[in-house]
Amino acid sequence: MTTPQDDDENQGNPWDGRRSPHDFQELMSQGRAQFGRMLPGGGSGIFLGGVLIALGMGAWSSVYTVASDSVAVVQRFGQFLKEVPPGLHLKLPFGIDKATKVPVKRQLKQEFGFATLGATDPSQSPRGSERDTRLETEMVTGDLNAALVEWVLQYRISDPVKYLFEVRDPGLTLRYVSESVMREVVGDRTVDEVITIGRQEIEMDALTKMQTLSTKYAMGISIDQVQLKNINPPRPVQESFNEVNQAQQEKEKLINQARRDYNKVIPLARGEKDQRIREADGYRLKRINEAEGDVARFNSLLAEYAKAPQVTRRRIYIETLQDVMPDIQSKLIIDGQVQNILPLLNIDSLQGAK
């Protein structure tokens, strides 16, 4: 018995088509000779036909190719025989040898919580309905909150023999392991870590744990990468997570506004301070210069005064009075001998007369 897969392989093979008839001719001539001895009649058309068909099927099922990204595991009568590298190979027909191809070099992946369309590997996408896909993402965090986590697992088949013979459905088991580990890791973290700050740590932690488990389970799988995709809070809660973001923005805005007010006033005040200090400095210069000027003038005068004190003194006195007197409207000059003039002086009338 041949597997359908083997038949497929042989059909498109031109080499096979040329070679086989040659073999058949030899076999048939031998066969005919033998049968001729056994069956003197010669009317053995049906029998020969049966043999011919059987041989044709045998030839069909004895050639197979292994793609360059795969190896084939060959079993003879069910027992493991050998691993076969990529290329064209022969095996014993009629189900005696069975070759199973395993894509060892291909990077395989599994998606959790979402599905890329057109996947051929059944274990790549979540099984079941949309509800199952959603359930796959729902997790409880270590602070008893809920989060929706989507992730991708990249893996390769490292040991095809183990992959085929140790575990019944390695792909499915890997999915279980991945889900379980991801929940274990998320369960040890707060919702904030899961959603924002701890993503990388989760990826690393999950990868290590999944690698440990897949080694322990001897599935012949090596896990290369765990990548977190969308992580969201549950839908009814998302709004409030946005509120936090908005509040964060609002906080920045409030602070910036206050800073703006600060900056509007303080540098100006500093400038004004400098202005006042400079003005004071100007006052200082003015005072000192004026004082020095006054003093210089005084000193010069003093020098002159020292030469002729009486005359200078008199001159200054008279000059000053001459300067002052003309502006005064009411002047009373009284004889020095007259006593008691004050009682007669009508100050009011003097005021009125001016």
Partner 1 sequence: MRTVHVGLLVISIIGSYLISSSIYTVSEVEQVIVTQFGKPVGDPVTTAGLKIKMPFIQEINPIDRRVLEWDGSPSDMPTKDKLYISVDLFARWRITDPLQYFLRLRDERSAQSRLDDILGSETRNAVAKHELIEIIRTTKDRVPLRDALLTKVESDIGALVPIQKGRVRVEQEIFASASEKVKVFGIELLDIRFKRINYNESVRPKIYDRMISERRQIAERFLSEGNGEAARIRGNRVRELNRIQSEAYREVEEIRGLADARAADIYAQAYNQGPESVEFYEFTRTMQSYKSMISTNTTLVLSTESDVFKFLKGMAPSVAKISAEGSDNSP
Query: What is the pairing mode between strands 138-140 and 146-157?
Result: antiparallel
User: Hey, which residues does 153 pair with through a beta bridge?
Assistant: 110, 226
Site stretch for partner 1 (CB under 8 A), options 3-11, 25-33, 101-109, 130-138: 130-138
| Minimum distance, C-beta of residue 344 to partner 1, in the bound complex (Å) | 12
CA distances to 314, 321, 329, 333, 351 from 326, rounded to whole Å, are 19, 9, 8, 14, 18
Q: Which of residues 82-121 bind partner 1 (CB under 8 A)?
A: none
| Minimum distance, C-beta of residue 21 to partner 1, in the bound complex (Å) | 26
| Minimum distance, C-beta of residue 115 to partner 1, in the bound complex (Å) | 18
* CB nearer to partner 1: pick between 109 and 189: 189
Which one among 143, 215, 224, 308 touches partner 1, defined by CB under 8 A? 143
DSSP string, 274-310: HHHHHHHHHHHHHHHHHHHHHHHHHHHHHHHHHHSHH
Structural tokens at position 64: 């197979």
Residue 71, C-beta contacts closer than 8 angstroms, at least 6 positions apart: 83, 84, 85, 86, 101, 102, 104, 160
Q: Which of residues 186-225 bind partner 1 (CB under 8 A)?
A: 187-193, 196-198, 201, 217-218
Which one among 17, 30, 36, 47 touches partner 1, defined by CB under 8 A? 47
| Minimum distance, C-beta of residue 96 to partner 1, in the bound complex (Å) | 9
Which one among 23, 87, 279, 311 touches partner 1, defined by CB under 8 A? 279
Residue 281, C-beta contacts closer than 8 angstroms, at least 6 positions apart: none
Which one among 172, 203, 208, 227 touches partner 1, defined by CB under 8 A? 172
Our finding on whether 36 is near partner 1 (CB under 8 A) is no
| Minimum distance, C-beta of residue 13 to partner 1, in the bound complex (Å) | 27
Task: Report the amino acid identity of residue 135.
Answer: L
CA angle 138, 143, 148 (to 5 degrees): 20
Instruction: Output b/e per residue, 143-156; b: 16+ Cβ within 10 A.
Output: eebebbbbbbbebb
Our finding on whether 53 is near partner 1 (CB under 8 A) is no
Which one among 45, 327, 348, 349 touches partner 1, defined by CB under 8 A? 327
Q: Which of residues 248-267 bind partner 1 (CB under 8 A)?
A: 248, 250-255, 257-259, 261-262, 265-266
Site stretch for partner 1 (CB under 8 A), options 26-34, 55-63, 150-158, 182-190: 182-190
Our finding on whether 308 is near partner 1 (CB under 8 A) is no
Which one among 12, 45, 118, 236 touches partner 1, defined by CB under 8 A? 236
Smallest CA-to-CA distance from 153 within 197, 103, 211, 97 is with 211
Is 4 in contact with 95 (CB distance < 8 Å)?
no
| Minimum distance, C-beta of residue 19 to partner 1, in the bound complex (Å) | 28
Question: DSSP assignment, residue 143?
Answer: T
Report d(CA 180, CA 178) in Å as an integer: 5
Site stretch for partner 1 (CB under 8 A), options 4-12, 105-113, 115-123, 293-301: 293-301
Binding mask 65-84 for partner 1 (x = CB under 8 A): ----------xxxxxx----
Which one among 331, 343, 346, 352 touches partner 1, defined by CB under 8 A? 331
| Minimum distance, C-beta of residue 15 to partner 1, in the bound complex (Å) | 30
* CB nearer to partner 1: pick between 88 and 341: 341
User: Hey, which residues does 6 pair with through a beta bridge?
Assistant: none
Is 115 in contact with 185 (CB distance < 8 Å)?
no
Residue 233, C-beta contacts closer than 8 angstroms, at least 6 positions apart: 145, 146, 147, 148, 191, 195, 241
